[in-house]
Structure 1
Amino acid sequence: MNTKDLKNFLDSKVEQYNTPNFIESDPIQIPHLFTKKEDIEIAGFLSATIAWGNRKSIINNAHKMMQLLDNNPFDFIMHHQESDLEKLESFVHRTFNGIDFITFIKGLQHVYTNHNGLEAVFAKYAQKDSLQASIHYFKSVFFEVDHLQRTQKHISDPLKNSAAKRINMFLRWMVRPSNTNVDLGIWTSLSPAQLSCPLDVHSGNVARKLGLLNRKQNDGKALAELDQSLRQLDPNDPVKYDFALFGLGVFEKF
């Protein structure tokens, strides 16, 4: 398949999967429950943080997270008392437990209180064609609060050669325009051109079959290679192809 045919094929798959029907089986449905900017981004960040494993379990546990935050996440984060955190101790999703959840609440409070919020941190450290350095600096800011070392594993660091799939997915949700009512597009200080594809086993396997990716590991170097391939297809919105790669892998077993 030549480049033109590949682009036409993938564009058709983006059109097929980048529709509201996609939301029904995806964790992106959680931030869609809210209308206030801070609630949307917090719900998105926490849902993306636990987005590994069985998708039904991810969605159920993300709903549980919101319920534990009184379905008012920003208000809970900014105004909770220490005693309010006790009910979070029982939460668990795979290796993300109640202690991690409480640390994330404190980290988010720190980001909003001292760093002007999530968008401001990512925008501050953004590079012209990448947000991978932003993720690295965000992690260091986020963990300026007291925390157990183990909790740090729940935010990946691209500068340590991680593909950082979950946080790249969160950034896609926040930055890509909402014109198909899937991604939310609430972060206007960043551009879709700066995004990186959420690289996982499904998108990685499809990308290799299509000749977009040669590296065998799904790591930071593979992400850089995939980014370069997708930017050749659409430099302004390369990560729209996440819908095509994911749909082909998960729904079509390509």
Structure 2
Amino acid sequence: MNNIKDILDNLYCIYNKIEYVHPDPLEFLYNYNDIRDREIVGFIASSLAYGRVAQILKSVSLVLDKMGPSPYIFLMNSKPSAIKNTFKGFKHRFADEKNLYAALTGLRFILTEYGSLYDCFIKGVDEKDETVLGCMKYFTKKISSGCTGNPGHLVTAVEKGSACKRLHLFMRWMVRKDDVDPGGWDKIPPSMLIVPLDVHMHKIGRMLGFTNRKQADIVTALEITKGFRKLMPDDPVKYDFTLTRFGIRDDMDIDNLSQMCKL
């Protein structure tokens, strides 16, 4: 296990750098210094983070361009009808203008009720919680309750038992702070985070011996997180960005990772 940690730490030192972020929707968060804007951008970018990465970047860019320099001000100062008209014709794979409009009205509801997405999330935190699952359920239910219409999968239903990859990705961006993850939600310890599980991280988790499960659901995500927690108890998601470069970047083949890890 120590040997694996040494290998992962070495990869982290090499690849956990800004120059390896593109192409990744995380890059949009760097353009916003105000945490109220950054959390909205993070939620939008992670919600649309499925499909081909080029299309993801195009869709996120389109939404943010229409929201102007401050997504927070846009949502707070726009009537629902104005939000609806702004994104008329929007389409990103399975999500259309109605889904986006519903999700944005849900965010607007949270901002009106709590002042920020962070303040809403914190309300759902229980001191007994070992992971963010409980407060994520609270958070997404609150957003859903404020949606005008059906947001579809843009607002994750945590209670259904899926891996909730995009929502855990959002949490990583907002909670962790290093050379890549911008952070800002500083009252939530990184130790509570869960690995954002997709096909690539599932394959890596199996390769590292952290899980034998074939289904990429929340149970598998927790098993893989537990494996990483043995290496980094205070920060089990530390290596997520580094390892997923092998699934995102054209110049970093995931099939070469096992050779690099000598597994």
- State the one-letter code of the partner of 1:32: Y
Q: Distance in 1 between matches of 2:147 and 2:67?
A: 21
Q: Distance in 1 between matches of 2:147 and 2:227?
A: 40
Report what 1:46 is aligned to. 44
Deviation readout 1:119-160 (Å, 9 max, x if unpaired):
1222222354211111111111001125334x2432223332
Matches within 5 A, 1:19-38: 19-38=17-36
Q: Distance in 2 between matches of 1:119 and 1:209?
A: 35
Report what 2:230 is aligned to. 232
State, as a whole percentage, how many aligned pairs show the same letter.
29
Give yes or no for contact 1:205–1:249 (8 Å, CA) kept in 2: no
- 58, 61, 66: which one pairs with 2:59? 61
Q: Distance in 2 between matches of 1:7 and 1:81?
A: 51
Matched position secondary structure for 2:238:
helix
Q: Distance in 1 between matches of 2:91 and 2:162?
A: 24
Matched position secondary structure for 2:239:
helix
Deviation readout 1:185-232 (Å, 9 max, x if unpaired):
111111111111110001111111121221111101101111111111
Say if 1:148 and 1:82 are closer, same or farther in 2 by CA, change over 3 A. Answer: closer
Q: Distance in 2 between matches of 1:77 and 1:183?
A: 25
Give yes or no for contact 1:132–1:159 (8 Å, CA) kept in 2: no
Q: Distance in 2 between matches of 1:112 and 1:53?
A: 29
Matches within 5 A, 1:1-254: 3-85=1-83, 86-127=85-126, 128-149=129-150, 151-177=151-177, 179-180=178-179, 182-250=180-248, 251-254=252-255
Q: Distance in 2 between matches of 1:158 and 1:215?
A: 20
- State the one-letter code of the partner of 1:176: R
**Superposed CA RMSD:** 1.6
In structure 2, list runs of 5 or more residues that go unmatched.
256-263
In structure 1, list runs of 5 or more residues that go unmatched.
none
Give yes or no for contact 1:196–1:223 (8 Å, CA) kept in 2: yes
How far apart are residue 110 of structure 1 and its match? 0.8
Say if 1:11 and 1:17 are closer, same or farther in 2 by CA, change over 3 A. Answer: same
Give yes or no for contact 1:122–1:131 (8 Å, CA) kept in 2: no
How far apart are residue 83 of structure 1 and its match? 4.3
Report what 2:258 is aligned to. none
- State the one-letter code of the partner of 1:159: E
Q: Distance in 2 between matches of 1:248 and 1:211?
A: 18
Q: Distance in 2 between matches of 1:108 and 1:146?
A: 8
With structure 2 as the length reference, what TM-score do the two structures score?
A: 0.89
Q: Distance in 1 between matches of 2:105 and 2:232?
A: 38
